[in-house]
Amino acid sequence: MIETGLAGRIVLVTGGSGGIGRAISRAFAAEGARVAVHHYVPEQEPPPGKRWEHAIPPAEEAVDLVRELGDAITVAADLSAPDVADRLFDEVEGRLGPVDVLVNNAAHCESPDTLDALTACGLERHYRVNVTAPALLTSALAHRARPDRSPCVVNISTDAARAFPGQIGYGTSKAALEAFTRAAALDLGRSGIRVNAVAPGPVQTGWMDAALIDRARLAIPLGRVGEPEDIADAVVFLASHQARWITGQVLQVAGGHAL
C-alpha cells in the first residue's frame, strides 16, 4: 500500500495490549494513526472447573511498544459490562477525539467449552464479550462518528467460525459476529460507515508448542502458522482508503487453512 490515509485518524483497538491486538495497534501507529489500546480489567474470577484461555498482558508495557511507532494511550474496561460502550467512547473522545476506526479484537474464550460441558453462564460470557460488546461499540461509533472522516469497523473472527467442534461457545459466538458484520454493513452503508471482518487461522501468540505448530502446518496449504503481523496487515488494509468500496466482507487470513 502506498498511502493508507490513516495518518491522524483515531483508532480504538479492543484487546489491544497483547498478541494480535498489540500487532494491530502497532500497525496503525506506524501509519500515523493515534491509537487507543484497550486492555481488560478482570472483574471476576473463572468459576470452579473453568479456565480463561486469554492472557492479560501488562498494559503499560504494551502501549510502550506501540509508542515506539506513534501516538498511543491505554484505556481499561471489562467488555462484559452493559454500559461499557459509552464509557469507553467517552474516555477515548476526551483524550484523543472522536473515534474513526473501531477494531473489535477482544474476545472471551474459556475451557472446557465442549457440548457436554456447556452451561448457560458460559454461553453468556462468550456472547457478551464476543458479540454483544462489538455490537454495542459499533452502535456507539455510528452515533458519534463524523461521516466526513470515513468511519469504519473491523471485527476479528476466526476461520473456524463455520464449525468449531470442542469450542461451542467460542465458535458459535464468532459465527454470530460474522453475521453481525454483514447486517451492520447493510444498516450503516447509507451513513458511509463500512463494516468488515478478518478471520484468522492458527496464529502463534505464545499458545502453541512445537508439536502443535508441526500439526497445524500440515493443515495449512501455505505451510506455516500465522504471525500476529499477518492479521494486523489485513486489518490496516480494510481500514485504509484503498478498501473504501469494501464492506460486509469476512476476509479469511489463514494461509488457506479451513477453506
Sheet with 10-13: strands ordered across: 72-77, 34-40, 10-13, 101-104, 152-156, 194-200, 250-253
Query: 206 vs 20, 26, 143, 239, CA distance in Å?
Result: 11, 18, 37, 27
Active-site annotation holds for 170: yes
Among the listed residues 239, 151, 253, 238, the one whose alpha carbon sits nearest the alpha carbon of residue 193: 151
Query: Strands 110-111 and 51-52, how do they pair?
Result: antiparallel
Among the listed residues 140, 154, 255, the one whose alpha carbon sits nearest the alpha carbon of residue 197: 154
| Alpha helix stretches (DSSP H) within the chain | 19-30, 59-67, 84-95, 120-127, 133-144, 168-188, 210-218, 228-239
Secondary structure class of 154 (helix, strand, coil): strand
Residue among 28, 170, 180, 237 flagged as catalytic:
170
Among the listed residues 113, 229, 220, 222, the one whose alpha carbon sits nearest the alpha carbon of residue 174: 113
Secondary structure class of 223 (helix, strand, coil): coil
Catalytic sites, residue numbers: 170
